[in-house]
Amino acid sequence: MIDERLFQDAKFYDKLIGLFMTADECDECEKVFNELSNLPIFGRFYTKQINLNEYPEYLSRFNTYYVPSFVILSPEANLLGIIQSSDAKFIEDKTREIVEAYLKGYNGEKLKDYIPTPEEPVKQEIIYEVIGDILNGIPADHRAIQLYRFIEKLDEKYKSGEKEIKPLTPEAKFLINGDELQPSPYAQNIAFSVEAGKENGKVLFELIKEGSVFRSKKMENKGLLIDEASVGNALLTEYERTEDQEFLSKALEIHQYIKQNLTHEKGFKDSPPKDRLTQVTFLEPLANAEVSIFLARLYAITGEQNYVEEARKAINCAYAGSRDLKVLARIAISLIKIEDLVKTSNKGPYTDIRLEFVKNLECRYKRGDKCYEKLEDIQFII
């Protein structure tokens, strides 16, 4: 969070604001920052380090994926420039150019809202696109792998393709290669460990405060849509595994937080407005895609139709914003859960992504109004 006082002081003292973007995995960032801090030109700045692992909402607004990066803002929070380099001398030279331009009257660019016009996807087309991307060698995360494994069980022609999957993330490597999951302080990673059965779901409770999920065990940042959705999904998985009502109650608290703080008419905001920068509306596609799964599952478990409407809003927002494999895989999973839902009285976890647990269901499997004894008897057509 960037305190409003920083902008007020910058305006009063006629200084600029420099945000030094770093990350956990950036070994050289601290050294570069210290070198810059000793340069005379940086006397014109109020500088602040921002860890993009902890504060990814700033990464989205500046569209910078390189660390270290030096973001220069005016006292009015206009973007004057972004310098992406680990060379302190290069950063110094570019900073001087930006400062000179500012002194000559350049006021920078106002950060713009990102609100894509909703677009409705077709489930079959999305599934084929995801499968095609995976088989064409595009690295897959855990959601893409979950979808692929569901499809290959239904169609044997895809079984030989699994050995070609390139895992993108540690979670994907765990699913494909059996790599050990490393301890992480971040909510998303902890949530996956819970879903994978590697941690007790109650470890998530310490990250939740009145439905707002902390980004990490640092307890600094909270309320990001991607964390709300990831932890919400893990809680639902643990509820289906244990039937412990406390997990469902916590998931419903998360939904209530999302509804009250992150809802937008065309999707869901990535972050609550905490400062001038996060007041810029950003409907981040991946987070909307992940929350669509959470909402679709809430619909399946509770039977409340409003969750479907919210899920479809998130789906259409995500699809309009990105055709990235990670986004499309989540959209496909959510659409399958909505359109091909199979309710079950069997406890989880499930490899078939159609399945969701419904307490006191009168039969083993239920699709629509019809009961089945065997899941194999319920046809799925791509």
Indicate if 48 and 177 belong to the same structural domain: no
pLDDT of residue 159: 86
> Quick one: 79 and 131 in the same domain?
no
Same domain, 271 and 138: yes
At which of 74, 103, 132 does a domain end? 103
Centre a 10 Å sphere on the Cβ of residue 128 and count the other Cβ atoms it contains. Answer: 14
- Which of 75, 103, 131 corresponds to the end of one domain? 103
117 assigned to some structural domain: no
pLDDT for 292 equals 98
Same domain, 194 and 341: yes
> Contact at 8 Å (CB) between 346 and 364?
yes
Residue 109 lies in a domain: no
Burial class (CB in 10 A: 0-12, 13-18, 19+), 378: middle
Tokens standing for residue 184: 């992480």
Query: Does 93 share its domain with 135?
Result: no
Q: Among all chains, which residue has been given the structure tokens 């916590």? A: 250
User: Which amino acid, residue 255?
Assistant: H
Which pLDDT score, from 0 to 100, does residue 77 have?
96
What six digits make up the tokens of 69? Answer: 């990066």
Quick one: 201 and 52 in the same domain? Answer: no
**One-letter amino acid of 343:** K
Per-residue pLDDT of the chain (382 residues; tens, 9 = 90+): 899 999 999 999 999 999 999 999 999 999 999 999 999 999 999 999 999 999 999 989 998 889 999 999 999 999 999 999 999 999 999 999 999 999 999 999 999 999 999 999 999 999 999 999 999 999 999 999 999 999 999 888 888 888 889 999 999 999 999 999 999 999 999 999 999 999 999 999 999 999 999 999 999 999 999 999 999 999 999 999 999 999 999 999 999 999 999 999 999 999 999 999 999 999 999 999 999 999 999 999 999 999 999 999 999 999 999 999 999 999 999 999 999 999 999 999 999 999 999 999 999 999 999 999 999 999 998 7
Shared-domain flag, residues 183 and 71: no
Instruction: For residue 108, count other CB atoms closer than 10 A to its CB.
Output: 18
Distance separating the N- and C-terminal Cα atoms of the chain:
45
Write the burial class of residue 332 (CB in 10 Å: 0-12 exposed, 13-18 middle, 19+ buried). Answer: buried
Task: Tokens 């699809």: give the residue.
Answer: 319
Residue 108 inside a domain? The answer is: no
Among the candidates 103, 135, 167, a domain finishes at 103
Residues 83 and 131 in one domain: no
- For residue 239, tell me if it sits in a domain: yes
Residues 6+ apart with CB under 8 A from 319: 118, 119, 120, 121, 126, 285, 327, 328, 331
Residue 234 placed within a domain: yes
Look at residue 163 in the predicted model and tell me its pLDDT: 86
- Please report the pLDDT score of residue 176 as a whole number: 94
- Shared-domain flag, residues 89 and 193: no
Does 112 reside within a domain?
no
The upper half-sphere exposure of residue 281, i.e. CA atoms within 13 Å in the direction of its Cβ, equals 14
What confidence score (pLDDT) does residue 160 get? 84
d(CA 15, CA 269): 31
Amino acid in position 130 = V
Same domain, 13 and 51: yes
Number of domains in the chain: 2
Q: Which domain holds residue 24?
A: 4-103
Question: How confident is the model at residue 162, as a pLDDT?
Answer: 84
What pLDDT score was predicted for residue 157?
A: 87
Give domain status of residue 111, yes or no: no
> Same structural domain for residues 54 and 146?
no
Per residue in 33-88, pLDDT tens?
A: 999 999 999 999 999 999 999 999 998 999 888 999 999 999 999 999 999 999 99
The CATH number for 43's domain is 3.40.30.10
pTM listed for this prediction:
0.96
Q: Which phi and psi angles does 110 have, rounded to 5°?
A: -70, 135
Q: Quick one: tokens of 123?
A: 């489930």
Residues 205 and 186: their CA atoms lie apart, in Å, by: 13
Residues 57 and 224: beta-carbon distance below 8 Å: yes
- CA angle (244, 223, 23) in 5-degree steps: 115
pLDDT at 381: 80
* pLDDT value of position 156: 83
Has residue 114 been placed in a domain? no
Residues 59 and 191 occupy one common structural domain: no
